[in-house]
Structure 1
Amino acid sequence: MEPGLDTKQRDIPGAATLSVDNIGGIDETEVTFHHGVTVLSGRNATNRTSLLQAIMAALGSEQASLKADADEGQAVLEFGDETYRRTLERRGGTIVTDGDPYLDDPELADLFAFLLETNEARQAVARGDDLRELIMRPVDTNAIKAEIEQYEQQKRELDERLSELDDLENRLPDLEAKRTRLTDEIESLQADLEEAREELEETNVDVEQRREEESELEEKLAELRDTRSELETVRDRIETERESIEALEDERDEVEARLESLSSGDETEVSRLEAEIDTLQAEKAELSQEISQLQSTIQFNEQLLDEQESVLPDVATEDDDGPVTDQLLADSESVTCWTCGSSVPRDQIETTIEQLRSVRQERIEERSEISSELDERRETLSEINENKTEYRQTQRRLDSIDDELDRRQDRLDDLTDDREALTDEIDDLETTIDDLETDDYSGVLDQHKEVNQLEFELERKEREREEIDDEIDEIEQRLDDRSNLQERREDVTDELTDLRTRIDQIEADAVEGFNEHMENLLEVLGYDNLDRIWIDRTRREVREGRRKVERSSFDLKIVRSTDDGAAYEDTIGHLSESEREVTGLVFALAGYLVHDVYETVPFMLLDSLEAIDAERIAKVVEYFESYVPYLVVALLDEDAQAVDVEHEVVSDI
């Protein structure tokens, strides 16, 4: 994304008013924000972080704490013509949230917009965690894979239909050649029949006493012709039934072979997997709840430190090194608990916070492992269920084939009986006709037989040509639909290409965005001997369930230079605190832009920037302001004074 992209030109209200009751360390306050940068300026323990938590609460985040001495609190955001409300209530030792916040799902905002000190994107960079996992977490890769499978199935079906059309098209030349040959044969038969009929008419046998025999003979000849035609039809039907039976028997062999390779399913195994899935889901839910509680506890203790951090009053001058200063320094080493009033050493609280963070990270890793196990169990269960379904469908198809074979065999037996009866009937008719023939009349009878035979043959050829005409018409009609099938296949192929590259494109955009913004900011911030920080996207083989697959990995690379200009590679652990903070913020900005978070929530919140010097903070704020509709930054007074971009200042919270 090019620097200076003005996302604030979207249809976003120009002002937002936040009302807060009992959030963090705030009793009650109301603040109005406008497009652009708002700086929360003040010393430590002036509720700047609490106000940011209140904004997060109204927007939908769970990462907000209730005031220690209150049983309920709320954050109300008036944004344009809409009002969004979030309430917090203490029930049985836990904090319960309710209301109608701005976001239904705050995951994207928690990761890439709410950049407080404990923000996971900032912490992941500082700890050297898996950055690829973090940037891809909001992407439902399983849904994309399922969609890919659906489109692949559609493409296979379309390919099969198109291949079938190709086969049909290849048959057309043979069918047309056969039709041409039949047409020639029919024309020849028509000519022969016309000639035979003319010869019969020219033959004049004027034997009065034979007229009765002639009438009976013609009747028998006509009956013979009809019986032969019926016999030919029965023979055709017998051949068709035999071909159908052979095809069904071949299909039956294939279905039986397929059935042997399938399983009807082990219900015990299914029950075991379902029980394991239920158990793992329950464990994952418990871990998620524990992680959320740990996060709330961490934030509470951090807020406790922020709200009671000692700031030396103006009465202590450079020459004051007496009892008052000593007393202030002594007080700064301890913190008074809001809930019980006892005094606790500051370093003890800080140690506890670090321990809680470590435990939270362990729980996150445990949850990730359980998620992998869940995916594996679900995949196995899905395979079993699919196998069972296919087994039942295959068994039903086998039963259907057996029934169809029985029906066709019965028809074949009946047709065979009909053929034998017709053959016997023809033999009887031919014997009768032979008995009716006389020497004087034999020539006429031969001519009658020839005409009958020609008529029968002509009828058979015409019927065969009609069948070929029908088949050609059907093929041509189906071929007319090929262009539509090809268009659908192109659409499905395009969609498949988009789905297959979507994950890869998100990764590439995230890496490109981070590298571009990191390069721009390093050039502006001017860190000594820090030449470049970038993400190198590589491919690694990892285990996913029971399979090994290739997956992208984001490797953070750092290059420094010595005083004499020699470059060398460094690690994240050797970065200064300021450099790490800037790197974490840039990574969060890359996620903010690649996931279009500004379309979901128009706010970005920045806190805990003290590790960066005032001049560089001002440049970071100016850079981020180009990409965020509402940028709210919590700064110390001296850092706030260095901000050059046009901004509002809130100092009374």
Structure 2
Amino acid sequence: MSSPESVTSSITVQAKNIGGIDSTDVLLQPGVNVLTGRNATNRTSFLQTIMAALGSRRSSLKGDADAGHVELSFDDEQYTRYLERRNGEVVFDGDPYLEDPELADLFAFLLESNEARRAVRGSEDLRELIMRPIDTDEIEAEISMLEAEKRDLDDRLEQLSRLGTELPDVEDRRVTLEDEIDATAEQIADLEAELEEFDLDIDASRDRKEEIESAFADLQEARTELESIEYDLETERESYAELERERDELETELEAVDDEHESPDRLEGQIQELRARKRSLDTTVSELQSVVRFNEDRLADDGFALDLGASDASDGEEDGAITEQLLADSTDVVCWTCGSQVDRERIDSTLEQLRSLRQAKLEERSDLQEQIDDLAARRKELRQQTEKRGELETRLSSVEDELERRSQRIDELETSLEEQRARVDDLESHADAFDDAAYSDVIDTHRELNRLELELEDLEAEREEVDNRIDEIEAKIEERGDLEERRETVDDELIDLRTRVDRIEENAVDAFNDHMSSILSILEYRNIDRIWIERREKTVREGRRKVTRSAFDLHIVRTTEAGSTYEDTVDHLSESEREVTGLVFALAGYLVHDVHEIVPFMLLDSLEAIDSNRIGDLVDYFEEYVDCLVVALLREDAEALSDTYTYVREI
């Protein structure tokens, strides 16, 4: 897709077999381009040609052609689109300007069939149309993800707060351990010196001393090994108990996961089927609306002037013979389908049936949308459950393997513990055998020395643990600044996401109201005081739930000849007023969604209901917001526009 820069060069459009065009090569310029000519001169087809090159699928292939193409070139770039008829359908291919044309179709390609214009003409849901390009499901998913991250950050910050209060106590404990280690080391040194003072000069005494020292050395080593085994066993048992708790939690979570045998893929198929039906209904509703509007217009004109003459292509004059004309007081009209006179009430009845059919189709479409929403939500839930179940099962399998490994390790340690206890008992019995009175003091001293050495080892081991804990706390406390900064960022992102929909709605309403006020002032619709949108809250059904949603109410305020004001409806607007209102609504969507950043073109068509001077003012107004504005007009309407614009008279 192109960058959001302005168009700076000429624009070349080459097309073949698009709409009613056989072949054409047209040069446009940045700014306003006016396609001027009589009716049936392929102006709308040319606009559809530009739409196709820009990425829209709302273009048609020439009726007698099986393939067509268009090339759009500007700013040293070329964009192509190929249309081919396959199995009764038109297939699009090529390298268009846009990958996703939704925004452009809604708010930049403003032909008669444009949905924004139709929504105003048909008093349809304006809020739904403005918000359609917004992926609310994605926004909700982002909100859920950020909320989870925020909870995690809060937990970590709370933990750091607790660590901050724990650090002084840990540091005090380290000072205490240092003092205890120093005192124990001094006691050991005194005992070692005391042993050296014993008078054991004779060989026998020396041998006896060595035997005693060896016995106590073996006993000390055995006790140290016993403590090590006991520590390892306790650690393994704690780990085993923790794994058991985790296993129980995982099993509980697995039981809580809904294990319905419904396939997300099958739901996807149902969703696609419902969407296809909805698209078909959209087409039907649109066609019914066009039929109703056409017939209402004809009925308002008391029938149809039948043109039985043929146009002369050589001189370009439009002529025809009016074969029937209704009397002013007649209740019959000329049927514009068969040419016979028909009672007005019969046509009114038929029109009412068409309106009822359209309303029924609208309700059916609404029901289909509710079904689609329900199935999409269920599909999402099933996929999340499947993913969660897989994660739980994988973790549970890992935990069970670890439990088995640790169980074997515990059995091995328990066996080693029993063996080591037996060895310590044997060594203690051996040491107790040295009960000679001559050596009783030496034995007692050795025993005390042995005890103190074990105590010193425990103190030094605890000091090492305390040092590690201090380092760990200090390292985590250093993370606090980064965590607090990230939490502020998450808060800002959450506020942005939670208010994004509201901001878009408010901006759309403000943009429409501001531009509508300016347009009414410029175009001087004197019998209209104001046309404005009110944003309000209403309760609607969404699937099986009732939720609060915004609604856009379009208000029209008029003033009577007596000077009093009253509120009118869209149905009572003139066709010119309705068309202008629809165009301004589309412009509001164009600005709110920054459509100019994704496509630098805007296309206008079917402005015949607006008088030429107002068309000129309207084009001038729209020009301010668009890089390249292409508008199709009749010759007489184009005469009111500026001579500085680019005019295309032959396509």
Q: Structure 1 length as normaliser, TM-score? A: 0.82
Q: What residue in structure 1 maps to residue 272 of structure 2? A: 281
Within the candidate set 568, 578, 586, 2:576 is matched to: 578
Is 1:569 aligned to residue 559 of structure 2? no
Question: In 2, Cα distance between the equivalents of 1:644 and 1:311?
Answer: 38
Q: What residue in structure 1 maps to residue 237 of structure 2? A: 242
Is 1:130 aligned to residue 128 of structure 2? no
Pick which of 28-37 and 73-82 moved more.
73-82
Within the candidate set 18, 30, 33, 2:28 is matched to: 33
Within the candidate set 603, 624, 627, 2:625 is matched to: 627
Question: In 1, Cα distance between the equivalents of 2:398 and 2:52?
Answer: 62
Aligned residue type for 2:559? S
Aligned residue type for 1:242? R
Within the candidate set 260, 264, 270, 1:266 is matched to: 260
Pick which of 179-188 and 371-380 moved more.
371-380
In 2 relative to 1, CA 281–367 (structure 1 residues): closer, same or farther, beyond 3 Å?
farther
Q: What residue in structure 2 maps to residue 534 of structure 1? A: 532
In 2 relative to 1, CA 538–346 (structure 1 residues): closer, same or farther, beyond 3 Å?
farther
Q: What residue in structure 2 maps to residue 176 of structure 1? A: 171
Is 1:223 aligned to residue 229 of structure 2? no
> Contact 2:307–2:320 (CA<8 Å) still a contact in 1?
no
In 2 relative to 1, CA 293–603 (structure 1 residues): closer, same or farther, beyond 3 Å?
farther
Q: How does 1:99-248 map to 2 (within 5 A)?
A: 99-206=94-201, 209-248=204-243
Question: In 2, Cα distance between the equivalents of 1:520 and 1:311?
Answer: 45
Q: What residue in structure 2 maps to residue 387 of structure 1? A: 385
Partner secondary structure for residue 433 of structure 2 = helix
In 2 relative to 1, CA 443–102 (structure 1 residues): closer, same or farther, beyond 3 Å?
closer
Question: In 2, Cα distance between the equivalents of 1:180 and 1:329?
Answer: 113
Question: In 2, Cα distance between the equivalents of 1:418 and 1:404?
Answer: 21
Question: In 2, Cα distance between the equivalents of 1:101 and 1:586?
Answer: 27
* Percent identical: 50
Partner secondary structure for residue 113 of structure 2 = coil
Within the candidate set 433, 441, 444, 1:443 is matched to: 441
> Contact 2:275–2:372 (CA<8 Å) still a contact in 1?
no
Pick which of 408-417 and 537-546 moved more.
408-417
Q: CA deviation at 1:652?
A: 4.1
In 2 relative to 1, CA 358–88 (structure 1 residues): closer, same or farther, beyond 3 Å?
farther
Question: In 2, Cα distance between the equivalents of 1:230 and 1:98?
Answer: 78
> Contact 1:84–1:102 (CA<8 Å) still a contact in 2?
yes
Question: In 2, Cα distance between the equivalents of 1:18 and 1:76?
Answer: 6
Question: In 1, Cα distance between the equivalents of 2:548 and 2:288?
Answer: 38
Q: CA deviation at 1:516?
A: 1.3
Aligned residue type for 1:462? E
Q: What residue in structure 2 maps to residue 588 of structure 1? A: 586
Pick which of 609-618 and 589-598 moved more.
609-618
Question: In 2, Cα distance between the equivalents of 1:290 and 1:585?
Answer: 25
- Once the two structures are superposed, what CA deviation does each residue of 1:319-369 show, in whole Å capped at 9, x if it has no partner? xxxxxx996223999xxxxxxxxx965899x99999999978876765564
Aligned residue type for 1:288? R
In 2 relative to 1, CA 462–88 (structure 1 residues): closer, same or farther, beyond 3 Å?
closer
Q: CA deviation at 1:258?
A: 2.5
Q: What residue in structure 2 maps to residue 426 of structure 1? A: 424
Question: In 1, Cα distance between the equivalents of 2:473 and 2:129?
Answer: 55
- Once the two structures are superposed, what CA deviation does each residue of 1:207-257 show, in whole Å capped at 9, x if it has no partner? 654332222111112222222222222332333233333333333443333
Q: CA deviation at 1:525?
A: 2.2
Question: In 1, Cα distance between the equivalents of 2:308 and 2:35?
Answer: 18
Q: CA deviation at 1:453?
A: 1.9
In 2 relative to 1, CA 285–508 (structure 1 residues): closer, same or farther, beyond 3 Å?
same
Partner secondary structure for residue 118 of structure 2 = helix
Q: What residue in structure 2 maps to residue 251 of structure 1? A: 246
Aligned residue type for 2:510? E
Q: What residue in structure 1 maps to residue 464 of structure 2? A: 466
> Contact 1:63–1:296 (CA<8 Å) still a contact in 2?
no
> Contact 1:302–1:353 (CA<8 Å) still a contact in 2?
no
Question: In 2, Cα distance between the equivalents of 1:67 and 1:420?
Answer: 94
Question: In 1, Cα distance between the equivalents of 2:554 and 2:524?
Answer: 20
Question: In 2, Cα distance between the equivalents of 1:558 and 1:529?
Answer: 11
Aligned residue type for 1:445? I
Q: CA deviation at 1:432?
A: 2.8
Within the candidate set 323, 326, 330, 1:330 is matched to: 323
Question: In 2, Cα distance between the equivalents of 1:347 and 1:63?
Answer: 36
Q: CA deviation at 1:483?
A: 4.0
Q: Would you say how many aligned residue pairs link Structure 1 and Structure 2? A: 620
In 2 relative to 1, CA 475–570 (structure 1 residues): closer, same or farther, beyond 3 Å?
same
In 2 relative to 1, CA 360–37 (structure 1 residues): closer, same or farther, beyond 3 Å?
farther
Question: In 1, Cα distance between the equivalents of 2:646 and 2:226?
Answer: 101
Question: In 2, Cα distance between the equivalents of 1:59 and 1:357?
Answer: 35
Is 1:477 aligned to residue 472 of structure 2? no
Q: CA deviation at 1:122?
A: 0.7
> Contact 1:44–1:311 (CA<8 Å) still a contact in 2?
no
Question: In 1, Cα distance between the equivalents of 2:188 and 2:638?
Answer: 112
Pick which of 217-226 and 377-386 moved more.
377-386
Partner secondary structure for residue 441 of structure 1 = helix
> Contact 1:538–1:554 (CA<8 Å) still a contact in 2?
yes
Partner secondary structure for residue 329 of structure 1 = coil
Question: In 1, Cα distance between the equivalents of 2:340 and 2:471?
Answer: 90
Structure 1, unaligned runs of 5 or more: 1-7, 314-324, 334-342
Aligned residue type for 1:387? Q
Aligned residue type for 1:120? E
> Contact 2:181–2:460 (CA<8 Å) still a contact in 1?
yes
In 2 relative to 1, CA 524–134 (structure 1 residues): closer, same or farther, beyond 3 Å?
same
Partner secondary structure for residue 32 of structure 2 = strand
Aligned residue type for 1:604? M
Partner secondary structure for residue 537 of structure 2 = strand
Partner secondary structure for residue 558 of structure 2 = strand
- Once the two structures are superposed, what CA deviation does each residue of 1:380-437 show, in whole Å capped at 9, x if it has no partner? 2332343344334434444444444444344344434444443443333333333323
Question: In 1, Cα distance between the equivalents of 2:582 and 2:339?
Answer: 27
Within the candidate set 34, 38, 47, 1:52 is matched to: 47
